[in-house]
């Protein structure tokens, strides 16, 4: 039997094993999980066939529909869990200050119950992008709380220094109560201030475009200015990379610094603030960014100015490419845009190193595999991460988006090996959108990108949970549970797949200076104290109608003149795996929920329950504005009762014109 068919057969065996171990509530519900696993198995097999035949898979619609189902079920879980990790309303962050992001709810093995400047900034960059794409009052409230929390955090003295000379801004992590972490750590880390500035600049630009320039100038700019001044002063100094292990110069950090200076300079000009320090140093950082490129190997050496014994092939570089994505500048190689020849060649170089993982063995080049940080990794014995696997997908979705906008694809000597893995007959040249080769490449790269998301679907945790890592041996989730960055990575990658892209930032493709400079500007640092945002800063064109993408349970403003509902039909959704004969019920502090009397608890329905999405739900009509506490209970087949763990959940019924609302929860086990 040819190897490709052996792999497909093995996948089908895995399906049989998975189905035999399923425990669901009805016989009928076995059908959907089986079809999901079958489509996943077919997908992996079809992608392998694609690589062998050198053309797109014939069953594109089958591939897409199977993946669409996973994305549809995972997306509400991902945004719910992301928001759960943000204080003070998040279900995992009840006692955390407003706007503070916890990396993970885990407090031991490993303890990630801290706030990292980098993680928080990347998470909120996603939140701001989502908000800019679709106005949401709940997200806006969190964005404002994030900005206020960071204004306070900037002033916290720590082992890296203080705000007086800016050095303290390079501290990587803090306790969630905003006190400094004084234990041993890889410090300083110089990507955090740049990333935080970028997230806030995106919101400041939205404020300006909607007529709230004074808010951007008086409240947001002072926080951004401190971070930009840090970048301008310290960008030439080494620091620890985003994985917190190597002290040197990091490609990811330099890329973030370049973007922050470019965007910061443009924002300063809009606000009438001094910008020369940022605009003069930005080209120097861009010049330095080119020095990471290894032309002989066609890849980015992600850490330089250090002797770490590694090849330098690191997901660091893929993350840098997607976080500096600007669809308006095409396939610019100087900024390592996702579709540039350098970024594509680097994608191949980095992803190919992980084909030695046990779960990747036998998978051909040009077919998606599980991606880790770097192949020499020893943390938890070195495994694939959900966020890096999703980053590999996101870069390809970005590329496809730009190619479709341009109407052409250019293959160079640098990127040829990447393309030949997917379309074996391709050669260097430019292919217009009306050519057969263009269509082949678009289909092949789209399938390749889908393959990475399908790997995440295959190894996703119970109830759609995304941990930090999954085992390179058997794919089981491991390390920190519910990693906030993992959920943000899933959401951004799948939005790129849907053609939703972030705002432009680069102001045209830049020119790299003929020679690199290394000048710095010592800035002044002042604690930002104005952190109270004016109310009702809605879009100038009015509040749009909410879509399915609106985070559930959020009060959503409505246009003036509508009648506010007095009663709301609230649908409670609980994701929990159960056994045959179990019944999930909801009980709470108000009469409609039994006043904590379990004999009066309301039963939920399992009509939409599947192994992939074990959903229980019920709809209860409640008074608008009513606040209460509640919990879910599991009534076992033998009549015994199991409560979910503390704390009690809390909810306030929205007071809007809508007569319907949804509250999505996950069992607190």
| Annotated binding-site members for substrate | 185
Q: Retrieve residue 583's tokens.
A: 């019944």
Contacts of 410 (CB under 8 A, 6+ apart): 331, 341, 429, 430, 431
Rg of the chain over Cα atoms, rounded to whole angstroms, equals 25
Kind and range of the H or E run holding 83: helix 60-84
Q: Retrieve residue 4's tokens.
A: 């490709």
Contacts of 530 (CB under 8 A, 6+ apart): 218, 219, 222
Report in angstroms the alpha-carbon separations of 325 from 127, 205, 257, 261.
Answer: 16, 17, 14, 15
Q: Are 198 and 125 in contact (CB under 8 A)?
A: yes
On the 0-12 / 13-18 / 19+ scale of CB atoms within 10 A, 210 is middle
Nearest in space to 141 (alpha carbons), one of 494, 533, 625 = 533
**Candidates 11, 227, 241, 332; catalytic one:** 241
* Catalytic annotation present for 434: no
In the annotated binding site, the residues are: 185
* Catalytic annotation present for 244: yes
Q: Are 587 and 600 in contact (CB under 8 A)?
A: yes
3-state helix, strand, coil in the chain (%, to 5): 45, 15, 40
Instruction: Report the half-sphere exposure of 536 (CA within 13 A, side-chain side).
Output: 4
Q: Report the relative pairing of strands 408-411 and 429-432 from DSSP bridges.
A: antiparallel
Query: What region does 447 belong to: left with phi over 0, alpha with psi -120 to 50, or beta?
Result: alpha
Between helix 192-209 and helix 137-154 the angle, nearest 10°, is 140
Unique residue bearing structure tokens 């399923």: 22
State whether the Cα torsion 471-664-138-133 is positive or negative. Answer: positive
On the 0-12 / 13-18 / 19+ scale of CB atoms within 10 A, 177 is exposed
Q: Retrieve residue 14's tokens.
A: 């895995």
Q: Report the relative pairing of strands 293-294 and 247-250 from DSSP bridges.
A: unpaired
Maximum CA extent, the chain:
77
Q: Where are the alpha helices (DSSP H) in 460-554?
A: 484-497
**Candidates 14, 68, 165, 244; catalytic one:** 244
Q: Which residues of 233-247 are buried (b: 16+ CB within 10 A; e: fewer)?
A: bbbeebbbbbbbbbb
Instruction: State yes or no: cis peptide before 224, omega within 30 of 0.
Output: no
Between helix 137-154 and helix 117-133 the angle, nearest 10°, is 150
Residues marked active site are found at 241, 244
């Amino acid at each position: 039997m040819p190897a490709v068919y052996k792999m497909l057969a093995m996948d089908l065996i895995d399906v049989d094993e998975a189905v035999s171990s399923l425990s669901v509530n009805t016989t009928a519900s076995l059908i959907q999980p089986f079809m999901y696993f079958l489509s996943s198995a077919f997908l992996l097999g079809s992608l392998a066939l694609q690589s062998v035949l050198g053309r797109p898979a014939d069953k594109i619609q089958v591939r897409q529909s199977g993946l669409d189902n996973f994305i549809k079920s995972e997306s509400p879980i991902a945004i719910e869990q992301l928001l759960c990790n943000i204080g003070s309303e998040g279900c995992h962050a009840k006692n955390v200050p407003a706007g503070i992001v916890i990396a993970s709810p885990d407090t031991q093995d490993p303890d990630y119950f801290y706030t990292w400047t980098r993680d928080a900034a990347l998470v909120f960059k996603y939140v701001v992008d989502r908000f800019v794409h679709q106005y949401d009052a709940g997200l806006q409230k969190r964005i404002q709380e994030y900005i206020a929390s960071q204004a306070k955090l900037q002033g916290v003295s720590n082992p890296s220094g203080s705000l007086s000379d800016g050095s303290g801004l390079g501290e990587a992590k803090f306790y969630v109560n905003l006190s400094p972490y004084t234990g041993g750590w890889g410090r300083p880390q110089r990507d955090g201030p740049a990333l935080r500035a970028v997230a806030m600049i995106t919101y400041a630009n939205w404020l300006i475009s909607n007529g709230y320039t004074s808010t951007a100038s008086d409240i947001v700019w002072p926080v951004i200015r401190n971070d930009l001044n840090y970048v301008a002063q310290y960008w030439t100094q080494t620091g620890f990379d985003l994985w917190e292990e190597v002290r040197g110069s990091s490609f990811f950090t330099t890329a973030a610094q370049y973007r922050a200076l470019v965007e910061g300079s443009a924002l300063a000009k809009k606000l009438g603030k001094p910008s020369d320090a940022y605009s003069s140093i930005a080209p120097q950082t861009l010049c330095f960014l080119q020095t990471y490129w290894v032309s002989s190997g066609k890849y980015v050496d992600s850490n330089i100015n250090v002797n770490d014994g590694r090849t330098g092939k690191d997901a660091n570089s893929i993350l840098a490419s997607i976080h500096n994505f600007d669809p308006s500048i095409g396939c610019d190689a100087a900024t390592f845009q996702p579709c540039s020849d350098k970024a594509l060649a680097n994608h191949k170089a980095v992803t190919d190193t992980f084909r030695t993982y046990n779960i990747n063995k036998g998978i051909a080049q040009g077919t998606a595999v599980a991606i880790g940080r770097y192949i020499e990794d020893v943390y938890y014995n070195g495994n694939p991460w959900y966020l890096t696997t999703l980053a590999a997908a996101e870069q390809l979705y970005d590329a496809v988006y730009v190619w479709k906008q341009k109407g052409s694809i250019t293959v160079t000597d640098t990127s040829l090996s990447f393309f030949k893995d997917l379309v074996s007959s391709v050669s260097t040249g430019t292919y217009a959108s009306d050519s057969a080769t263009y269509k082949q490449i678009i289909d092949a790269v789209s399938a390749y990108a889908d393959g990475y998301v399908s790997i995440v679907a295959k190894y996703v945790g119970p109830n759609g949970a995304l941990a930090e890592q999954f085992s390179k041996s058997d794919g089981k989730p491991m390390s920190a549970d519910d990693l906030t960055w993992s959920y943000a990575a899933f959401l951004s990658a799948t939005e790129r797949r849907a053609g939703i892209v972030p705002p432009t930032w680069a102001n045209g493709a830049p020119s790299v200076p003929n020679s690199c400079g290394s000048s710095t500007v010592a800035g002044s640092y002042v604690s930002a104290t104005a952190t109270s945002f004016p109310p009702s800063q809605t879009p100038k064109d009015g509040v749009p109608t909410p879509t399915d993408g609106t985070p559930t349970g959020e009060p959503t403003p409505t246009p003036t003149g509508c009648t506010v509902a007095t009663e709301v039909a609230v649908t409670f959704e609980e994701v929990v795996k159960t056994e045959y004969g179990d019944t999930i019920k909801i009980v709470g502090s108000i009469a409609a929920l039994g006043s904590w009397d379990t004999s009066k608890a309301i039963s939920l329905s399992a009509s939409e329950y599947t192994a992939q999405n074990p959903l229980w739900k019920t709809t209860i009509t409640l008074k608008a504005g009513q606040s209460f506490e509640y919990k879910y209970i599991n009534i076992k087949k033998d009549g015994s009762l199991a409560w979910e763990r503390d704390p009690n959940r809390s909810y306030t019924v929205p007071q809007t014109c809508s007569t319907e609302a949804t509250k999505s929860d996950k069992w607190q086990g």
